[in-house]
């Protein structure tokens, strides 16, 4: 039972990176970015190819982030420069990335046994000593999730970060400050997809394989996690958005693990995720309607 809990926590911490990215596109920019389903496996594909060719696993992470940033840049340019609707811009990039992933790594690329990943690298043995691999994964996943949480918190306090947050809430304010709303959207999509690709890279190293279909449904998974976190902390205004996303990711993975232990067929997980996401959206919509009627 303890191993199951550790595994669920590890998965929740890793997927918090995905949730950070969707927090930027969904909550801050109000941008339905389907690029996520393409940038996630893109980060995994780049990582798998680099590791199998002898590149140090830590060095693959910034390269994966750069690949994801380029994917976000493509979506941003299509939307801002070509005036394509946000949803369609993401779909176009996602579709193109599927072929790019296949060209990079094929349909499936396992990381060979004996090849180090960030979770089995020798430096972890020097840091933690002879501890179980599952515990190493948990500690390292926690460190990565918290590192990027704090980096995002620091960024959101800067002038650029405040402008980014204002872009989704009040684009008129951004324009009045002589800033380009389009440039801020592009910047947000670059940051979002770099984090999503990083999540794909870490998942690839944790699972020791890349699959061309591993990005399917990642946007729904991430959004469900983000909304769970925001719902849990909606009455606690002092809780940071990144904290809500982190907790939401962990809670989501714990719920999924509990469902599997209860006998749920694993093949139904994506269906359950979609139903859960729909239920969360429906409840939120009903609450907003009740609030509107109460004020009226």
The pLDDT tens digits along the chain (296 residues) read 678 889 999 999 999 999 999 999 988 988 989 999 999 999 999 999 999 999 999 999 999 999 999 999 999 999 999 999 999 999 999 999 999 999 999 989 999 988 999 998 887 777 777 788 889 899 999 999 999 999 999 999 998 888 888 776 655 556 555 467 788 899 999 999 999 999 999 999 999 999 999 988 899 889 889 988 988 888 887 889 999 999 999 999 988 888 888 887 777 777 877 787 787 778 767 766 766 555 55
Is residue 291 one of the residues assigned to a domain? no
**Closest alpha carbon to 193 in 29, 36, 75:** 36
Single pTM value for the model: 0.92
- Closest to 30 measured CA to CA, from 86, 82, 99, 96: 86
Structure tokens at 207: 């699972």
At residue 113, the 3 state secondary structure works out as: coil
Look at residue 178 in the predicted model and tell me its pLDDT. Answer: 47
- Identify whether 245 is part of a domain: no
The whole domain housing 182 covers 2-213
Relative to beta strand 209-211, strand 108-110 is antiparallel
The residue written with tokens 């009040």 in the block is 170
In sequence order, which ranges of the chain are alpha helices (DSSP H)?
2-22, 36-52, 57-80, 86-105, 122-128, 133-156, 159-169, 171-176, 181-207, 218-232, 241-261, 269-295
Residue 151 pLDDT: 96
Residue 131 lies in a domain: yes
160: CB partners within 8 A, 6+ apart: 187
**Res 1: pLDDT:** 66
- Residue 17 domain flag: yes
Q: What one-character DSSP code corresponds to residue 211?
A: E
The alpha carbon of residue 165 and the mean position of all alpha carbons in its chain are separated, in whole angstroms, by: 18
CA–CA separation, 51 and 55 (whole Å): 5
pLDDT at 154: 96
Domain-located, residue 128: yes
For residue 269, tell me if it sits in a domain. no
Query: Does any domain span residue 244?
Result: no
Q: Is residue 249 in a domain? A: no
Total number of domains in the chain: 1
Q: What pLDDT score was predicted for residue 211?
A: 93
């Amino acid at each position: 039972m303890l191993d199951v809990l550790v595994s669920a926590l590890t998965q929740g911490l890793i997927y918090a990176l995905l949730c950070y990215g969707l927090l930027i596109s969904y909550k801050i920019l109000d941008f339905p970015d389907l690029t996520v389903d393409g940038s996630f496996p893109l980060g995994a594909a780049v990582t798998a190819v680099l590791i199998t060719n002898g590149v140090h696993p830590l060095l693959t992470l910034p390269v994966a982030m750069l690949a994801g940033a380029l994917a976000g840049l493509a979506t941003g340019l299509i939307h801002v420069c070509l005036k394509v609707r946000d949803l369609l811009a993401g779909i176009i990039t996602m579709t193109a990335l599927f072929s790019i992933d296949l060209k990079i790594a094929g349909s499936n690329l396992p990381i060979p046994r004996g090849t180090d990943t960030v979770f089995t690298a020798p430096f972890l043995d020097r840091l933690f000593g002879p501890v179980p691999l599952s515990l190493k994964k948990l500690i390292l996943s926690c460190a990565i999730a918290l590192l990027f949480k704090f980096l995002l918190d620091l960024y959101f306090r800067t002038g650029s970060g405040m402008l980014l947050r204002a872009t989704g809430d009040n684009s008129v304010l951004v324009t009045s400050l002589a800033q380009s709303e389009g440039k801020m959207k592009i910047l947000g999509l670059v940051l979002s997809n770099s984090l999503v690709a990083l999540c794909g890279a870490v998942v690839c190293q944790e699972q020791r394989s890349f699959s061309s279909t591993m990005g399917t449904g990642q946007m729904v998974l991430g959004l469900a996690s983000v909304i769970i976190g925001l719902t849990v902390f909606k009455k606690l205004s002092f809780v940071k958005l990144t904290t809500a996303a982190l907790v939401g990711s962990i809670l989501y993975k714990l719920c999924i693990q509990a469902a599997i232990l209860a006998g749920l067929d694993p093949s139904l997980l994506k269906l359950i995720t979609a139903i859960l996401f729909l239920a969360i959206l429906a409840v939120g919509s009903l609450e907003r309607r009740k609030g509107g009627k109460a004020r009226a």
